[in-house]
Structure 1
Amino acid sequence: MGKHRASWKRWVRDLEKKPKEPGGCCLFQMIFVLALTILAYNLYHWLWPDLRHHVLDKTDLAFTFYKDVEERGPIAYGKDEAQKLYIYRSADAPEDSAQPVLLFIHGGGWHDGDPAAYGFVGRNFAPKGFVVVDVGYRLLPEGKYPAMLTDSAAALKWASQNIGKYGGDPDRIYLMGHSAGAYNVVMLGLDRRWTRRAGLPDDTIDAVIGLAGPYDFLPLDTENAKDAFGKVRPLAATQPIRFARKDAPPMLLMTGDKDETVEPENAQTLFNALGAKGADARHVVFRGMDHSQILMTLAQPFEYFDPRTQTQVLEFLREQVKQSARERIRAQRQARELQATGEDARADAAAAQGAQASGDIQPAGR
């Protein structure tokens, strides 16, 4: 045993004496990260759908533990235990200014999912200047249409009324969802019934991002869809494409060409319908990407190897934030001009009254 230990020690000393090739350590680290990524990817796809998102979240946490992001939750926005949300905000965010809000709604075919498993959305977008809200909603069987929409609208209302306490700006709220969650956010953006029933102004939603969402999926061909929508009449009222309108909030519709869960044509068809109405809509198709990857690549370390989803989302959001800032400046300028015009009119009226009282101007009719 002692001889083996001595031989091992000599082998280690000899290895340490060997000249190190430039980049060798970096290469080893890259191979290790790649192997870990492949392992995590396979775990994500092999495990039960709901559990795999928890695995994805824990993997992301292992790579983002150094990010100083504050998490609040679960916070109830309704009486049902599924009506809960989580809030993420960067600890480095300025205290003297409110940040735009990104409200994310998860997928799961309307029958599974938990917002607690999507912390990676908050951890990766909060440091980029957003207060992130991860929303849960009632699932099947209680979550039949329109429960998923009334819950989503209720969560949006809660955010509009309360997000200011957490450093968010209620006047800049952007919605993003994946799969069934993309259906929820797009419907909130297009069909005003749900936001109006929640008592929200029509301009509450500033923009919408749909990741691999179903927007035109008749006839119903899956058990989940039949359970969620099968008893609705008229059934066409459940389809986002039926509510395309010119004044819809700006929309970014993204999908992967390898998606076998939600047909990529869903995004194309809705984009065409919005374009025909003259709405502001964008359509992005990622080559070689499937239904899970479009969401998976928002998490670490997967975003490192394929940043396409996050890049498109951030470019769109930052463009909308800039546009919002321009509109706010324009509105403030108009308000100042109206105020100045009103003050000038009042000053002229006061001057005329003064002149009339002094006799310089005689009342009309004399």
Structure 2
Amino acid sequence: MTFAPLLRRAALAFCAAGTTLLAACSPAMLLDRAVSRNTYDFDGGEAYGPAPRQKLDVFRPLPAALPVVGRRPLVVFFFGGAWTTGDRATFWFVGEALASRGAVVVLPDYGLSPDFRYPVFVQDSALAVKWALDNAVRLGADPKQVYVMGHSAGGYNAAMVALDDRWLGAVGASPKQLAGWIGLAGPYDFLPIENPDARVAFDWPNTLPESQPLNHVTAAAPRTLLMAVNKDTLVNPVRNTRQMAERLRAVGVDVQVREFDNLGHVTLIAAVAKPLRWLGGPVLPPIVKFLGLP
């Protein structure tokens, strides 16, 4: 669930495309190349709470890329990393990809294990969404078009915020305020816990069933886009994505599912980055369409 191995593999592939790049290629440089600096306006290090990791970055579309003023969707994106690793700076390419298409994007950090354990990272996620809801108009977005989105462990965070009303309710908001949620290879039903990092993050074997997003599906859930890879060796797509889709559909929730054969667990999100969209599947277009963007 960590991003560094993917960067190493993708860097080699990217460099192999042209020998003139070989001398300069590195995972960090790959990310730098993946994120254009002239396709969005950027506000970094906004505080959504008092804790050191309760910070977020905001990507706003440039005027030329905007839909009708005041009608831009706002996406809060949560990164993955087994609730143990990761930071918002590594996922700027997600902010750029969506902001360049007309969305306002919020990328928060959140508390990580072992310093913080469930439910702290869910509470942080809810607080970041509350901040987005409160600041949507100021950022030029429509407060009625706020979405949560996440990859891997971040997909779990997004699911919990969207499905379990305890978390937004605790900060004075509600999942009813969300226009939808997007999960990419998210773990939604993973007891008993096998991943060593996740065991620590969820205090296994004392993990409560209420920690599982699948147990919070109701007819009140926001419309949903689920994406997964069929050969995922980290998060089982049948048990998680397909089962989540079936449970949501059974209660009448509007669900869209996209599955990919030629991507892996991490390359599913990496393929959002402009230089890496050749990796094996059109990941960005279904997201853009789900958000109602051209």
Deviation, structure 1 residue 237: 0.7
**C-alpha separation between the residues in 2 aligned to 1:286 and 1:113?**
24
Question: Of 270, 276, 283, which residue of structure 2 is paired with 1:302?
Answer: 276
Alignment of 1:1-366 (within 5 A): 35=17, 54=28, 56-61=30-35, 64-65=36-37, 67-92=38-63, 93=65, 97-98=69-70, 99-230=72-203, 235-265=208-238, 266-304=240-278, 306-318=280-292
**C-alpha separation between the residues in 2 aligned to 1:189 and 1:279?**
12
Kindly tell me: are residues 237 and 314 of structure 1, through their superposed partners in 2, closer, same or farther at Cα, counting changes over 3 Å? same
**C-alpha separation between the residues in 1 aligned to 2:67 and 2:156?**
34
Code of the aligned partner of 2:17: A
> Secondary structure at 2:286's aligned position in 1?
helix
Deviation, structure 1 residue 138: 0.5
**C-alpha separation between the residues in 1 aligned to 2:209 and 2:14?**
50
Code of the aligned partner of 2:190: F
Would you tell me which structure has more helix in proportion to its own residues? 1
Deviation, structure 1 residue 95: 10
> Secondary structure at 1:272's aligned position in 2?
helix
**C-alpha separation between the residues in 2 aligned to 1:125 and 1:282?**
19
Kindly tell me: are residues 249 and 32 of structure 1, through their superposed partners in 2, closer, same or farther at Cα, counting changes over 3 Å? closer
Structure 1: stretches of 5+ with no match in the other structure: 1-30, 45-51, 323-366
Could you tell which deviates more after superposition, 275-284 or 209-218? Answer: 275-284
Deviation, structure 1 residue 165: 1.9
**C-alpha separation between the residues in 1 aligned to 2:169 and 2:205?**
20
Is contact 2:193-2:204 (8 Å) kept? no
Deviation, structure 1 residue 278: 1.9
Kindly tell me: are residues 145 and 36 of structure 1, through their superposed partners in 2, closer, same or farther at Cα, counting changes over 3 Å? farther
**C-alpha separation between the residues in 1 aligned to 2:119 and 2:186?**
17
Deviation, structure 1 residue 202: 4.0
Partner of 2:10: none
Q: Aligned residue pairs: how many? A: 276
Is contact 2:94-2:273 (8 Å) kept? yes
**C-alpha separation between the residues in 2 aligned to 1:262 and 1:305?**
19
Kindly tell me: are residues 249 and 313 of structure 1, through their superposed partners in 2, closer, same or farther at Cα, counting changes over 3 Å? same
Deviations 1:2-24 (A, max 9, x none): xxxxxxxxxxxxxxxxxxxxxxx
> Secondary structure at 1:301's aligned position in 2?
helix
TM-score, scaled to structure 2: 0.86
Partner of 2:5: none
Higher relative contact order (CA 8 A, sep 6+): 2
Is contact 1:56-1:296 (8 Å) kept? no
Code of the aligned partner of 2:180: A
**C-alpha separation between the residues in 1 aligned to 2:18 and 2:82?**
28
**C-alpha separation between the residues in 1 aligned to 2:100 and 2:78?**
19
Kindly tell me: are residues 223 and 299 of structure 1, through their superposed partners in 2, closer, same or farther at Cα, counting changes over 3 Å? same
Is contact 2:78-2:157 (8 Å) kept? yes
Max Rg structure: 1
Code of the aligned partner of 1:222: N
Is contact 2:199-2:205 (8 Å) kept? no
Code of the aligned partner of 2:95: G
**C-alpha separation between the residues in 2 aligned to 1:286 and 1:141?**
33
Deviations 1:186-240 (A, max 9, x none): 1111111001111003422110000010001011111111111125856211111
Moved over 3 A (4+): 31-34, 93-96, 231-234, 304-307
Could you tell which deviates more after superposition, 183-192 or 265-274? Answer: 265-274
Deviations 1:293-328 (A, max 9, x none): 10010002111454511112112221xx79xxxxxx
> Secondary structure at 2:225's aligned position in 1?
strand
- Percent identity (aligned): 36
Is contact 1:105-1:178 (8 Å) kept? yes
